[in-house]
Amino acid sequence: MSELNLILLGPPGAGKGTQAERLVADFDVPYYATGDILRAAVKEESELGTEAKEYMDRGDLVPDDVICRVVVERIDRPEARDGFVLDGFPRTIPQAEELATAIERLGRHLTAVLLIAAPDEEVIRRLSGRRVCKENGHVYHLDFDPPKNEGFCDQDGSPLIQRDDDKEETVKHRLDVFHDQTKPLVDFYEKQGLLRRFDGTRAPDEVNGHIRATLATLRLEEEL
């Protein structure tokens, strides 16, 4: 079987996390969210982790080449031999170029960049309707999954609140940041013929089906 080296792109609320979980379960490849593996490297006190921590402690951004090395160190582990799902990296063109060079050095290449897309209005509707209970973090949605008693959790009766991250203004800002960052990457990967788009407004099962069909085709093409 050919490798499945994937990058995931998509706005918040388009179901990227769900699709990542499905990919990991379907293909038994590790999922690397950049924030998580950066924190893990810091915790392991590896040479790279210690280097990253120095920037973080100073409140500076961890430079591209350090993040890239942390990512590549993971990709080079036996667990990622058959592939990986990368999320949150690259965010910029220089990072994408750096990653491409590093992967090539390992004698590998990207299989595809999966963009789980959803229109802004849909993302705003999905996220701004979300409510969580104060006590245990049970999640509801005003339109899709409302509680029986308005404003209170069905399971423990505690009040439901809207997280700051889910407030409409915050969601709009997150979307602006996403579009600014992602547009150049989408163009970059489109030019390389690596980009595949999926409709994140469809049911998760359907999106998963489309992704699997696309990957099956890509693998067939690679094996020819």
**Hey, how many other C-beta atoms are within 10 angstroms of the C-beta on 3?**
17
Annotation marks residue 163 as catalytic: yes
Following CA atoms 26, 32, 35, 37 in sequence, which dihedral angle do they give, to the nearest 10 degrees?
A: 130
Nearer to Zn ion, 84 or 140 (CB): 140
Of 69, 74, 174, 196, the active-site residue reads 174
**From 91, 125, 126, 131, the catalytic residue:** 91
Question: What Å distances lie between residue 117 and 67, 120, 167, 174, CA to CA?
Answer: 25, 9, 20, 15
Residues forming the site for Zn ion (CB under 5 A): 133, 136, 138, 153, 155-156
CB of 64 to Zn ion, least distance (A): 41
148 is catalytic: no
Give min distance, CB of 131 to Zn ion, in A: 10
What residue type is 122 in one-letter code?
Answer: E
**Are the beta carbons of 136 and 219 closer than 8 angstroms?**
no
Residue 133 or residue 185: which is nearer to Zn ion going by CB? 133
91 is catalytic: yes
Set 43, 77, 105, 163: catalytic member:
163
Residue 35 or 137: the one with the smaller Cβ distance to Zn ion is 137
Q: Which residues of 39-62 are buried (b: 16+ CB within 10 A; e: fewer)?
A: eebbeeeeebbebbbeeeeeeeeb
Shortest Cβ 155–Zn ion spacing (Å): 5
**Catalytic residue IDs:** 16, 91, 130, 163, 174
